Amino acid sequence: MRSLWPEWPRIRKRIAGQRKVLLLLDFDGTLAALRGRSAAARLTGEIRGLLVSIQALPRVGVAILSGRSLDDLKARVDLPALYYGGNHGLEIAGPGLSFLHAGALAHRSIVQALAARIEGELERVPGAALENKGLTLSVHHRRVAPASRRPLGRLRARMRADASVLPVRWGAGRHVWDLLPGVTWHKGAAALRIIRHLGGPFPIAVGDDTSDEDIFTALKGRGLSIRVGRQRSSRADYYLRGQEQVARFLRETRAALEARP
């Protein structure tokens, strides 16, 4: 994985030469800076303005794929012309596209039964919080004190063991554990679904977390992938140093897309 900016002149030409382009963007840690509380994440005015101006270009589509629920994600971005993938792509909405994974919907009652149990367990771990997103659950532990890390680890092991006989799976991100239905679907599959819907545009994916690696893998050999923050094991093509560089990337990409193909 290489730094993006030293190779930007060549990449810029590649982007400018595409007939159609689709930006696939993560939300937390990519478009919005990570916060101590998940509910505090917001787009800055600059990022929002860049999304609006990019989406208005005639050969560009913009999709935001997140672990957040679809309703939460749409409310935080609030730009109706965009495509949205919530719950790690299990639900997708946008112009002419509405998708809800049938298997995830079938397992919803199991996920909700586990939610009640996990919420009770977390009462013994100060700083941990359960986010119930309907189709999936997230356990946020960014605010857990070091003294409570070991009990939290034991709790996680117990929850994983209890759920091992159920049609669910556990995933992990930055200061979060995710409980997902045991279906063969992820952000990468959702990205490919949106790409097909739009007739095969050139995809450019930007993300910062473990779940975004599924998108990077899905786009290998067919698009451009960028990790926010250097991660040696990442499957992305390039990396940005940090979230503060995302606005620059969007500005530079807009300029490339405004050029004639």
CATH architecture assignment, domain 105-181: 2-Layer Sandwich (3.30)
Phi, psi at 77, each rounded to 5°: -90, -50
* Residue-level pLDDT, tens digit, the chain, 261 residues: 899 999 999 999 999 999 999 999 999 999 999 876 777 789 999 999 999 999 999 999 999 999 999 999 999 999 999 999 999 999 999 999 999 999 999 999 999 999 998 998 888 899 999 999 999 999 999 889 988 888 888 888 888 888 889 999 998 888 899 999 999 999 999 999 999 999 999 999 999 999 999 999 999 999 999 999 998 899 999 999 999 999 999 999 999 999 866
- Which two structure tokens, joined as six digits, stand for 221? 């050999």
Main-chain phi, psi angles of 91, to 5 degrees: -135, 135
Q: 205, 215 in Cβ contact below 8 A?
A: yes
- CATH 3.40.50.1000, domain 2-101+185-258, yes or no: yes
The rounded distance, in Å, linking the Cα atoms of 63 and 231 is 23
CA distance 158 to 138: 16
pLDDT of residue 35: 73
User: Is-same-fold flag (2-101+185-258; 105-181)?
Assistant: no
Q: At what angle do helices 108-122 and 149-163 cross, to 10 degrees?
A: 150
What contacts 221, CB < 8 A, 6 or more positions away? none
DSSP 181: E
Where are the chain's structural domains? 2-101+185-258, 105-181
CA pair distance 38, 142, nearest whole angstrom:
10
What is the predicted pLDDT for the residue at 36? 65
pLDDT of 156: 86
The two structure tokens encoding residue 93: 């909405």
Q: Say what the pLDDT of residue 166 is.
A: 94
* Pairwise CA distance, residues 244 & 22, whole Å: 22
